[in-house]
Structure 1
Amino acid sequence: MVAPSAESAIARVSSGRRARRMLEILELVSERGSISLAELSETLDISAPTARRDLSDLADQQLLLRTHGGAAALERGQELPVALRDTRFQEAKRAIAKAMVARLPAERHVVALSGGTTTASVARALANHREITVVTNSLTIANLLSGFAGVRVVMTGGFLRPQSLELVGAIAENTFNAVNVGTAILGADGISVGSGVTTHDETEARTNRAMVAKAQRTVVVADGSKIGNVALAPIADLHQVALIITDRSADPDELDRLRAAGVEVVVADA
């Protein structure tokens, strides 16, 4: 499968409302495997011409397969591009980011940030921090931090994943192996007692494991939709995680299981 370009996704999904609708379409198609035009129109309460345009646009970006009378998934559970993921749960992510930054030392400190929309919110919340160094493999996060006077940015090398705009592979891993990190802040696609912290891509997971290995403590920041989920590739076992920061949409029973496993859990108020 050819990965969709992030630039294409951003250019085509300029309206926040339309981006959210297209995200819902991708999630429906991924869950069901296929969907008809009539089902899509009824489920999302949109006209057939609107549904048809959205499906054609998503097919042009190679995010789904257009079929006669509907659409099919390229593969079940496929990863959504970062340009679309950034429209989800924005208030929750801002609250999580605020809670995370409040728990960082005020003095000189080294933070590692993985890619992701929640970690990007943490990066934005560092605007007023002083004397902090951020090591990251995310182009998005490096760009966000470049204008903050009190933040020094260390960028890894590596191969670019267009879906997440992260640099991965041996070069990125070697960068993390060469530095000492006070706090590693991870985004995740899934967090559960049975599988730990997981993500969709194995290469990305391997790079993040190198980040965790050099950190004095690891914090996972994730909105409630990720709690209890399990994705393909493991990043960290729960015993490697000191703290999880999430929001009130998380399943309370799953949070209790995480606490019983010995992990501190903070629920941020949006």
Structure 2
Amino acid sequence: MSKHERWNALLELLAANGRLDVEEAASTVGVSAATIRRDLDELAEQQMLVRTRGGAVAHGVSFELPLRYKSSRNASEKQRIAAAVADLIDEGAVVGLNGGTTTTEVGRALALRVAGGRQPDRPSGDAPRLTVVTNALNIASELTVRQQIKIVLTGGVARPQTYELVGPLTAGVLHQIALDVAVLGVDGIDPRLGVMTHQEDEASISRLFAERAQRVVVAADSSKIGRRAFARICDLSALDVLVTDKGIPSDTVDRLTEAGVKVITV
């Protein structure tokens, strides 16, 4: 197992349990305790965990893994969710995408749907079949090569954890545009507190995406349901649709429906 694979395994364990014991982690990962200690020391230097005597603990209310370590979590669910979200978006729409692994999959699903259409690639100057406005560097990078999609990348300061641009420059661009649909990836959906994420600067930008859109769609796997994070994006009343997997509890579906949110499970 490579160092990257070990780190990925350790961070997944930490995200699931909130803490790690060196001996237990060594047994689970299949390496020596000394190797685990070195790995934890290096991860602590990168501020990805907090080192303790005998192990490590997670940061914050709800642990934030860097995007590169989150991409493999619930991958099949996220791909199904993304395909369902893409089906909700009309050709020619202006779509806002914030950053995250699920919205990255939504971007890919939109690109595949556009590419699979009957219209040929648009000549230069013709109207795009889709316009995507995003503050996520990785999403913009993937979609820029798609000739049928117009990409608008906001300005701002990049956060290395999520590749999202945030700050006054980002807000300034979003204040000047109107969206047909905003698709939000989130870190938590609490029935009382609403939709949440880890960082307050990302929350403010996601809130602005929602405010600029006629329709707001949250794309989140069921592990996010009932989960709290640090910063609130908006109330449930601001949402139109939640697309998630079938792991969502039925009573939660009822509560969301009562709040006016259409729940689509895949």
Asked whether the two chains share a fold, i.e. TM above 0.5, the reply is yes
Change (3 A) 1:28 1:118: closer
Indicate whether 1:103 and 2:88 are aligned. Answer: yes
What are the equivalent positions in structure 2 for 1:161-180 lying under 5 Å apart? Answer: 161-180=159-178
Tell me the CA shift for residue 68 of structure 1: 4.7
Asked whether the 8 Å contact 1:19–1:87 carries over to 2, the reply is no
- Return the offset for 1:153: 0.3
Asked if the contact 1:177–1:211 (Cα under 8 Å) also holds between the matched residues in 2, the reply is no
Q: Which amino acid aligns with 1:36?
A: D
For residue 38 of structure 1, report the CA deviation from its aligned partner. 1.9
- CA–CA distance in 2 between the matches of 1:159 and 1:69? 37
| Normalised TM-score (structure 2) | 0.86
Secondary structure class of the residue paired with 2:192:
coil
Identical aligned residues as a percent: 41
| Paired AA for residue 96 in structure 2 | A
Q: What does the per-residue CA deviation read over 1:15-55, in whole Å, with 9 as the maximum and x for residues that have no partner?
A: 4xx454122233256x24xx43123335x363434533532
More displaced, 109-118 or 162-171?
162-171
Equivalent residue for 1:69, pick from 54, 67, 73:
54
Cα deviations across residues 76-95 of structure 1 (Å, max 9, x unaligned)?
Answer: 63421111111111100100
> What is the aligned partner in structure 2 of residue 212 from structure 1?
210
Shift of 1:140: 1.0
What letter matches 1:225 in structure 2?
Answer: S
Query: 1: CA distance between counterparts of 2:61 and 2:132?
Result: 35
Helix, strand or coil at the partner of 1:126: helix
Matches within 5 A, 1:202-241: 202-241=200-239
Partner of 1:5: none
Residue correspondence of structure 1 range 42-53 to structure 2 within 5 A = 42=27, 44=28, 46-49=30-33, 50-53=35-38
Q: When the two structures are superposed, what TM-score results if normalisation uses the length of structure 1?
A: 0.85
Question: Structure 2: how far apart are the matches of 1:213 and 1:75?
Answer: 27
Q: Which residue of 2 aligns with 1:125?
A: 109
Distance in 2 of aligned mates of 1:219 and 1:76: 24
Partners of 2:10 and 2:25 within 8 A in 1: no
Secondary structure of 2:62 counterpart: coil
Which residue in 2 is equivalent to 1:265? 263
Please give the alpha-carbon distance, in whole angstroms, between the structure 1 residues aligned to 2:209 and 2:227: 22
Unaligned runs of 5+ in 1: 1-10
Instruction: Indicate which of 244, 253, 256 corresponds to 1:255.
Output: 253
**Contact 1:212–1:218 under 8 Å retained in 2:** yes
Q: CA RMSD in A?
A: 2.2
Query: Residue by residue, what CA displacement relative to the aligned partner does 1:95-122 show, whole Å, maximum 9, x if unpaired?
Result: 001001111113x110000101000000
One-letter identity of the residue aligned with 2:49: L
5+ long unaligned stretches in structure 2: 115-127
Q: Is the 8 A contact 1:173 1:211 kept in 2?
A: no
Matched ranges for 1:114-193 at <5 A: 114-127=98-111, 128-129=113-114, 131-193=129-191
- Is residue 227–residue 255 contact of structure 1 (8 Å, CA) maintained in 2? no
Deviates more, 1:59-68 or 1:132-141: 59-68
1:26 maps to: 14
- Separation (CA, whole Å) in 2 of partners of 1:240 and 1:74: 29
Kept after mapping to 2: 8 A contact 1:190/1:231: yes
Contact 2:222/2:247, CA 8 A, preserved across alignment = yes
CA–CA distance in structure 2, aligned partners of residues 197 and 231 of structure 1: 9
Which residue in 1 is equivalent to 2:119? none
The amino acid that maps onto 2:94 is: V
Query: Does the residue aligned with 1:253 lie in a helix, a strand or coil?
Result: helix
